[in-house]
Amino acid sequence: MATTNTDTPTTRTVIEPLLTFDPTLHLHTSIKSIATSSQSFIYLGTSSGSLLLLSINPNTPNDKTPSTKDPKSTLDDPNSTLDFDVPFRNVSFIKSVTFGDSAVETVLLLDEIGKVIVLSDGFLFLTDSGLVQPVKKLGFLKGVSFITKRVKSSESECSDLSGFSSLEGSSASSRILSRLGGGVRGNGVKDFVQKGEGDYVFAVVAELRVVPNDKEVDLLVLKEMQCIDGVKTIVWINDSIIVGTVIGYSLFSCITGQSGVIFTLPDVSSLPFLKVLWKEKKVLLLVDNVGIIADEHGQPVGGSLVFRKGPDSVGELASYVIVVRDGKLELYHKKSGDRVQTVSFGSEGSGPCIVADEESGNGKLVAVATPTKVIFYRRVPTEEQIKDLLRKKNFKEAVSLVEELKSDGEISNEMLSFVHAQIGFLLLFDLHFEEAVNHFLQSETMQPSEIFPFIMRDPNRWSLLVPRNRYWGLHPPPAPLEDVVDDGLMAIQRAIFLKKAGVDTTVHEDFVLNPPTRADLLELAIKNMSRYLEVSREKELTLSVREGVDTLLMYLYRALNRIDDMERLASSGNSCIVEELETLLDESGHLRTLAFLYASKGMSSKALTIWRILAKNYSSGLWKDPALEHELPDGNTNVISGREVAATEASKILEELCDQDLVLQHLGWIADVNPVLTVQVLTSEKRVDQLSPDEVIASIDPKKVEILQRYLQWLIEDQDSLPPKGPDEGRLEETEISDLGGNSIFQSPVRDRLQIFLQSSDLFDPEEVLDLIEGSELWLEKAILYRKLGQETLVLQILALKLEDSEAAEQYCAEIGRPDAYMQLLDMYLDPQNGKEPMFNAAVRLLHNHGESLDPLQVLETLSPNMPLQLASDTILRMFRARLHHHRQGQIVHNLSRALNVDAKLARLEERSRHVQINDESLCDSCHARLGTKLFAMYPDDTVVCYKCFRRLGESTSVTGRDFKRDPLIKPGWLVTR
């Protein structure tokens, strides 16, 4: 339930007094009832039985010329400052009509047909809206206490009441008398329908009967319903009639006549009161000082409104509910329940008050009547309400107002964005930079170029891009942030002085109590301006605006010395103008940022020059080395020097660069810092056109052997760009062999790389390489080369005798694939020659692993007499056992094969010797024809077909679809089973 704090101070000015009318100037009487029409007519019912017609005319000579512009169009135009509601400054008394001596209790307007119904002394009177025609008294109705008309939310939700009448052909008097019985006063409620323009429907309460009525003089009784006693108030929405009594509120259906209690009132309670909310087509039910908003079925919708006191009368104005009592008028917002304005128009005890509004629910005029006077109020234009709040610096209330108007559909999205931008500029000049940018970001129509003048003084490259939008003229023209801060500080000092003198100002209290420093304000302003530009970079902008955003963002980063942000912006895709920034960055010493900026704009030569200067200055100690810590995968940190960072960034540029002269120009200093980066530059696949190998090889420092090695290897293995046996192969071999034992820039040792190269490449002459390494101890490399030449004996000698790598020797024998290779290796183990002792352990290993592949007799002949007996006996015994095992295993396989062959022959014989009996009733399993004396065939699955179907199906596929070639049918035999 929505509640309101009655102590909350009013902040909005929704309505303002227009004029006051004194009816005693025309009639010495008091006002009893009041009604307003959409044509600016005011009807005043007096206690003496008269009805006064007033006209509020905006076109009198004393007034301003009213605007002809559509009010809604001004709301949608953020730049409009026109006041489309020209104040009504004159009220005219037109005419008065007397209905008798009794008070005019109710005035009911039927604007659609230009009629007015007046309730006085229990009778209804009908007249025209101009009070020109004679008054007609509806004498058939007596004792009428209340009258109301039907409110339709939509045609689909309202039933057609014309079907209740069957007296359409009779005269008015006969039809009325036939229903009511000529002068009979019923104790109930009767519903009447007014048939005319728009099938207008209204209701009349005659004591306890509701009677629907029809047109002008031709009135038609539609339905009578039994009601309840003590009706004090009544409304009619769609098919529901809600009545209020001292007991509570009840709901009647004008279709079925059924009734039900909505809720009862407390024992001690004020009189009930019902008010139709025309805009929402809802009903406000009053219980003491609480207003409950309900739908046509009496069900509460939304929240409740809590008033300070029980009101005398309730009205409606757009999104607000108006209550009057004790000389005060209060406005409450329907949704939030907040009291937004209080207006005094008299003193307490001045008598009951009545408020009248326009039935559209969205009018601009409100009339409040006391017994002695009428006060007219006009609704302040929405734009003026917002301006008033902004002038008072009540920004939160202004935002709340525009959001309410947006939800009610009274303003557009453009207007909402316009107000957010206006509030942002006001907050900016009030030095509330964070809140200002927050509002800028909520504005969908504000252009980033609007804040350019706050960052760079005019004139500049982007001066013509700044829209000359002064909004509502509530803030000064744009000025650089330094000037804004200085003016704001002067205002704070002035406010402090005035506060000491007892004068209130609009400066924020926090600034007065704790004045900020200029440096802090500038830093805060720049931070928030950069935040706005960062978000603006994600929007769709024109190229010129995007250039301004990125360039000025770099300005702001430099002002705060946010180096990381500067380098991130410069190294990413950006639209910065280099000419605007290079002098600034160079003079401030932000060369890294300038290098990144040059690189992003394709100015590679300038960027590389800066990185070279940085690396040189870092190494010479002229500049402090900005070492970086790089976190490794194992959790440790690796410190990278500034020289390496410069070389790394330069190498990233060179990896994509196709300018060979520029690449080779900077290759030397990068190689001095990190040879690995040099190799990455030379072997980069990002480059569209590769460098000339001859030029690259000629430019590489002869002392940088490993760089040359890796480049040559990349050319041969990855690029395959050299002819077989090319000269660079020999140079690669020479560089790798000459670098043996040195420190390597590569992860793998140089011998490993040499061995991999010798094994994988076929573009060199093995004999030339053997000559090159003849006197060295590179035995494994020699073995690789001899293997390429096919010299098996030399390979085995090196592996078995020089390297004593039995596993490699046995693997090589397996690659040869001949049994004599193992015998040759065994001979080498047992007779190494050159004075070397026999390698009995290696020989035993060979016999143990591959003895089954050797001839035992040859082995016995080869064994040395000096071989220990236990080693020889075990080995020979194992060989004999293995030979015997293989022999017996072969016999078993041979006998099993013979058995399978015999079993297959026997099964085939049984199949061929099977007898099939065919008689006259036998049918073909395929075409179902009688076989008789025809030729037939039988498949292994016992299906029988005629010869014709056999030719069609084939020999291997039966009627069942089984293919016996792919899925043979195996029948159990004496050896083979399923």
The pLDDT tens digits of the residues spanning 743-752 come to 444 555 777 7
Residue 206: predicted pLDDT: 40
On whether the CB atoms of residues 248 and 298 are closer than 8 A, the answer is no
User: pTM higher than 0.85 for the full model?
Assistant: no
Residue 703: predicted pLDDT: 83
On whether the CB atoms of residues 336 and 323 are closer than 8 A, the answer is no
Residue 399: predicted pLDDT: 92
Residue 961: predicted pLDDT: 85
Residue 872: predicted pLDDT: 61
Nearest 10 degrees: Cα torsion 738, 740, 744, 750: 110
Residue 77: predicted pLDDT: 43
Distance CA 692, CA 83 (A): 78
- The DSSP bridge pattern shows strands 91-98 and 104-110 to be unpaired
Residue 620: predicted pLDDT: 58
Which of 3, 635, 87 lies closest to 292 in space, CA to CA? 3
Write the pLDDT tens digit of every residue in 880-910: 777 777 778 888 999 999 988 888 888 778 7
The gap between the terminal CA atoms of the chain, to the nearest Å, is: 85
Which of 749, 748, 704 lies closest to 682 in space, CA to CA? 704
Write the pLDDT tens digit of every residue in 200-248: 444 554 433 334 444 444 566 677 777 788 888 999 998 899 999 989 9
What H or E segment, with its residue span, contains residue 124?
A: strand 123-128
φ/ψ of 154, rounded to 5, equals -165, 155
Residue 250: predicted pLDDT: 93
Determine how many CB atoms are found less than 10 A away from the CB of residue 723: 9
Which of 525, 447, 424, 448 lies closest to 484 in space, CA to CA? 525
On whether the CB atoms of residues 768 and 743 are closer than 8 A, the answer is no
Residue 603: predicted pLDDT: 94
What are the helix and strand counts (H, E) for the chain? 31, 33
* Residues of the chain with confidence (pLDDT) below 70: 1-10, 57-89, 162-221, 349, 619-639, 720-748, 851-853, 855-857, 860-861, 863-865, 867-876, 879, 970-978
Residue 853: predicted pLDDT: 67
Distance CA 802, CA 777 (A): 10
Q: What is the 3-state secondary structure (H, E, C) of 515-579?
A: CCCHHHHHHHHHHHHHHHHHHHCCCCCCHHHHHHHHHHHHHHHHHHCCHHHHHHHHHCCCCCCHH
Grouping H, G, I as helix, E, B as strand and the rest as coil, residue 271 is coil
Long-range contacts from 540-549, C-beta under 8 angstroms, 24+ separation = 541/448, 543/575, 544/462, 544/465, 545/447, 545/448, 545/449, 545/462, 545/465, 546/575, 547/462, 547/575, 547/576, 547/577, 548/448, 548/449, 548/452, 548/461, 548/462, 548/465, 549/448, 549/575
